[in-house]
Structure 1
Amino acid sequence: AHVAGAGGSLTESGLLTQTENRTNFWRLAATGQEAAENGLLEERIWGWLSAQTGEVGMKELQSAGVVEKREAGAGIGLLKDLGIQLERGNFVVPSTIGAITATLELRTQFIAQLATGGENGIGESDLDTSMVDYFRSRKGIIASSEEVSRTWTLTSSGRAMPESELEERLIIADITPELLQGEEWRNADFKPYDVARDAPIPTVGKSHPMQALIERIRAIFLEMGFTEIEGDYITTAGWNMDALFIPQDHPAREMQDTFYLDNPKSIDIPESRIQQWADVHEHGGETGSRGWGGEFSSEIAQKGMLRTHTTVNTVAHLAEHPNEPCRVFGIGRVFRKESIDRTHLPEFHQIEGIIMEPGASLPMLVTTLKEFYAKMGYSEVRVRPAYFPYTEPSLEIEVKWRGEWLELGGAGIFRPEVTEPLGLKWPVCAWGMGLERLAMLVLGLDDIRQLYISDLEWLSQQPLL
């Protein structure tokens, strides 16, 4: 830094000319290092797929343990780029696979080459630029650093300058507390600043506001002692609705509101579970409720569909762990047949959470929600009585924003008709809220579509959440 500063000052004085060379070096990032050890994601999937006989699909891939659940979606996208399609749940491989194997071999060789460079990396000129361009578009595979070399040459004025007239002096550009505590500054020169000169505005990469908000919410719930759970997008009407005591003739089940699937059209549910739901729906089971009456249909319960809320995840978790106290939450996409307008989308996100433990109660639920919103920056929170089919009592949660109360979600205690078929021992506090609605509040938007448009200028202006 001392040499570079002196060279820069002499160059500004016209005594030197400066030549600068910049070289990019590429090295493996965290995901790239995993790929070097275990193979690229698409390479692992292809290795498994090419060894299979007959029709195989996502179900077989996930059960084979070749990839983690979180990698499955990205893996399918990578296979599609290679020409392998997923049709009706099964993989369709092209008749000729030479291009696939050649592409994977080039990618593997590139990763292996970078692995030899260690932390210092390999110069860009020594790498296949097409592979560099490809992998830089994939998050976490490769990372770059820049090496700058400067060479100075005397100008005619520099050669004519007598050495006796040269004096080495300290020129200070940054004033720091450490500098002022010493004595060097007293005899130093201070680099002049041109306050009228235009300064560049740096453009840096950052997370999308929605992703940043998800990470912020996740961090808050983890800090509050909750555990995150996940679930599949595809479920059954039984787990999505029957388990929550939503009657089988409820309007929300109609085709115009719910995405039912042709494949899988039906998903098997154990007969014992269906009978538990049937007892509760038809006559209340052993809960003291009258149920909804009528005849419960196992065919309707086993219909395949895209989940309409994330409560299906928490109910499934309770069914798997009926005797274990828990505090869990989930953040995920849900799907409903909504017309796209300024407040509705057919695909959006929900935040869901439950507390099941001895002594779980409505005051505990309200306190938990107030603590969450306080950590989000909303200190004024109130609850109002509401109605939901599967909680009693039920609440709507409102926060004070710009002088007005805004409804942000629902909450309540699961009804006995929900908990009794699951064999739960303790009360269950539950709540849910729409993430996009919260994002609109945080970012000051009045149109939900603004969150998903490709407006780089708008995205660059958004605050860090």
Structure 2
Amino acid sequence: MRLPQRQLAVLEAASATDERTMDELAAETGMKPETVIGSAFDLRDEGLLEVTETAVETFDLTDEGRAYVDDGLPETRLYRAGLALGADESPVSMGRVIGEADLDGPAADIALSNFARKGFGAIDAGELTVDDDADPDADPESAALAALAAGEDPEVDDAVIEQLDSRGLVAVGESVTRSVTLTDAGVDALMTGVEAAETVAQVTPELLASGEWRDVEFSEYNVEADAPPASGGRTHVLRQTADRVKDVLVGMGFKEMEGPHADSDFWINDCLFMPQDHPARTHWDRFALDVDPMDDIPEELLRRVERAHREGWGTDGDGYHSPWSEEFAREIALRGHTTSLSMRYLSGIAGGELEPPQRYFSVEKVYRNDTLDPTHLLEFFQIEGWVMAEDLSVRDLMGTFEEFYRQFGITDIRFKPHYNPYTEPSFELFGEHPETGEEIEIGNSGVFREEVTGPLGVDCDVMAWGLALERLAMLTTGAEDIRDLHGTLADIDFLRNAEVSY
């Protein structure tokens, strides 16, 4: 019998009595693992080897999980800090305990959400108490992390692993181990003698030019053999969602708006009848830029907007009677919403003078100084839209949403009355997450107040909305954390495999 050299090497390294793994064969033969695997499957097809596959569940610590092995879980640190401050005897301010535990940002939120769940104590009215009978050292989650860090198999129930996986502390996967043993035919072949055949894997220019291709023996290709996974490029799921949103809105008769990411506070907030002393306009929520103020704001429009703030607009308007500064209005910041584009278009500064009816939208990035969590990022995409027409009502607005979300297979949108400085009536939109069943806020909407449309020169109704593209993507892909979609913590495997359903 004659076999290619690579197959002969694998056959001779195999055993009739002991299972040999592909890695062991690769180490013994000095060949690449994929070459060994291909040869083993070829020999299996010849009846000379038996190949067995064993699937094993794997658990790997994430970077966050490794950090907690060294520092302790946040809830454990919170418990120990509470004990140190005497919270086992009387309640202690939650902020004081968090400071003692040296927890900040997301770590504090994580500690608080898991503290009561594990029975470490209770939190009520901003004060924390600890249960001195609790034993953090016996916490199965901590024990499992320590075992994984030591390279041991964590002997815990599935619920603990699922909890660690959901917290992003452990990555659960599956590995397949392939082993081979010689069959009787393989033993007989080795006993009677097997010669190495010179084979060629591919046709080369030299073989063609010399004519040697007629005399050589070519290797056979096993198209069923495993190969290393190859991940090609694809459209990001968020871009897929954005493209679909644009298609839907254009199909509903809307035109697209565009405009600057950095704009004056006048267009971002003042035109929206947002008082200049509103908390959302402070540095806590706003990204101000150290650049020259904006000069090209129409003077007449500036005065009308100032008048609306100071005195109100219309017969029933009363204004805010609060400070209003033209200097502040001209300052530049990153837009916190794309309604700045709506103000530019409604005023006629962008897109020219408009006559009703009109429909416009944008799908653009906005920037807010929010605390990062599963539904908030510092920058995200907003679906802005508005309709200008005579005699619009809330029923028209709700019907528009129902038609829009129906295009994505979402038919259970819920509405909740809400307050906005710039719309009346106003309401928020909520949708049910397909995986968790949790109700998440997906947008805000309403009919612009006269204090908004009047200074812009619009004398008919305008209904408007701002929807979160990422949260729509969460509903259509099943993502449970906005950070799985984009950012430094994005789940690459999820992005490679997720499909937008609609």
* TM-score class, shorter: 0.5 to 0.7
1:209 counterpart residue number = 237
Aligned length: 285
Q: C-alpha distance in 2, partners of 1:270/1:464?
A: 43
Q: C-alpha distance in 2, partners of 1:398/1:253?
A: 25
Contact 2:273–2:422 (CA under 8 A) maintained in structure 1: yes
- Give the 5 Å matches for 1:395-410: 395-402=427-434, 403-410=437-444
1:369 aligns with 2:401: yes
Matched residue SS, 1:349: strand
2:310 counterpart residue number = 282
1:195 deviation in Å?
Answer: 9.8
- Give the 5 Å matches for 1:283-302: 283-302=311-330
1:263 deviation in Å?
Answer: 0.8
2:62 counterpart residue number = none
Residue range with higher mean Cα deviation, 239-248 or 267-276: 267-276
1:395 deviation in Å?
Answer: 1.1
1:459 aligns with 2:491: no
- 1:246-267 per-residue CA deviation (whole Å, 9 max, x = no partner) reads 1111011111211112112444
Matched residue SS, 1:432: strand
1:221 counterpart residue number = 249
- Give the 5 Å matches for 1:241-390: 241-320=269-348, 321-390=353-422
1:286 deviation in Å?
Answer: 2.6
1:339 deviation in Å?
Answer: 3.3
Q: C-alpha distance in 2, partners of 1:382/1:351?
A: 18
1:393 aligns with 2:429: no
Contact 1:240–1:308 (CA under 8 A) maintained in structure 2: yes
Residue 278 and residue 204 in structure 1: after superposition, are their counterparts in 2 closer, same or farther (change >3 A)?
Answer: same
Q: C-alpha distance in 2, partners of 1:255/1:198?
A: 56
Matched residue SS, 2:418: strand
1:234 deviation in Å?
Answer: 1.4
Contact 1:287–1:420 (CA under 8 A) maintained in structure 2: no
Between the aligned residues of both structures, percent identity stands at: 39
Matched residue SS, 1:388: coil
Pick aligned residue for 1:430 from 458, 464, 484: 464
Contact 2:275–2:322 (CA under 8 A) maintained in structure 1: no
2:448 counterpart residue number = 414
Q: C-alpha distance in 1, partners of 2:495/2:374?
A: 18
1:386 deviation in Å?
Answer: 1.0
Q: C-alpha distance in 1, partners of 2:355/2:223?
A: 68
Contact 1:349–1:436 (CA under 8 A) maintained in structure 2: yes
Contact 1:287–1:417 (CA under 8 A) maintained in structure 2: no
Residue 422 and residue 156 in structure 1: after superposition, are their counterparts in 2 closer, same or farther (change >3 A)?
Answer: closer
Q: C-alpha distance in 2, partners of 1:210/1:256?
A: 28
TM-score (norm 1): 0.56
1:155 deviation in Å?
Answer: 4.0
Residue 281 and residue 157 in structure 1: after superposition, are their counterparts in 2 closer, same or farther (change >3 A)?
Answer: closer
TM-score (norm 2): 0.52
2:163 counterpart residue number = none
The letter of the residue matching 1:335 is: Y
Residue 228 and residue 366 in structure 1: after superposition, are their counterparts in 2 closer, same or farther (change >3 A)?
Answer: same
The letter of the residue matching 1:372 is: F
Residue 401 and residue 256 in structure 1: after superposition, are their counterparts in 2 closer, same or farther (change >3 A)?
Answer: closer
Q: C-alpha distance in 2, partners of 1:156/1:311?
A: 72
Contact 1:400–1:406 (CA under 8 A) maintained in structure 2: yes
- 1:280-325 per-residue CA deviation (whole Å, 9 max, x = no partner) reads 1111133521111134321121111111100110111010034342
Q: C-alpha distance in 2, partners of 1:157/1:393?
A: 81
* Higher-Rg member (1/2): 2
Matched residue SS, 1:429: strand
RMSD over aligned Cα atoms: 2.8
Q: C-alpha distance in 1, partners of 2:216/2:371?
A: 74
- 1:147-194 per-residue CA deviation (whole Å, 9 max, x = no partner) reads x99969444899xxxxxxxxxxxxxxxxxxxxxxxxxxxxxxxxxx99
Contact 1:358–1:426 (CA under 8 A) maintained in structure 2: yes
Residue 290 and residue 203 in structure 1: after superposition, are their counterparts in 2 closer, same or farther (change >3 A)?
Answer: same
Q: C-alpha distance in 2, partners of 1:343/1:393?
A: 25
1:126 counterpart residue number = none
- 1:91-118 per-residue CA deviation (whole Å, 9 max, x = no partner) reads xxxxxxxxxxxxxxxxxxxxxxxxxxxx
1:107 counterpart residue number = none
Q: C-alpha distance in 2, partners of 1:156/1:197?
A: 24
Contact 2:485–2:491 (CA under 8 A) maintained in structure 1: no
Residue 156 and residue 361 in structure 1: after superposition, are their counterparts in 2 closer, same or farther (change >3 A)?
Answer: closer
The letter of the residue matching 1:334 is: V
Contact 1:414–1:430 (CA under 8 A) maintained in structure 2: yes
Residue 447 and residue 278 in structure 1: after superposition, are their counterparts in 2 closer, same or farther (change >3 A)?
Answer: same
1:233 counterpart residue number = 261
- 1:5-28 per-residue CA deviation (whole Å, 9 max, x = no partner) reads xxxxxxxxxxxxxxxxxxxxxxxx
1:200 deviation in Å?
Answer: 7.5
Q: C-alpha distance in 1, partners of 2:255/2:268?
A: 21
1:408 deviation in Å?
Answer: 0.8
- Give the 5 Å matches for 1:436-451: 436-451=470-485
1:464 deviation in Å?
Answer: 5.2
Residue 451 and residue 344 in structure 1: after superposition, are their counterparts in 2 closer, same or farther (change >3 A)?
Answer: same
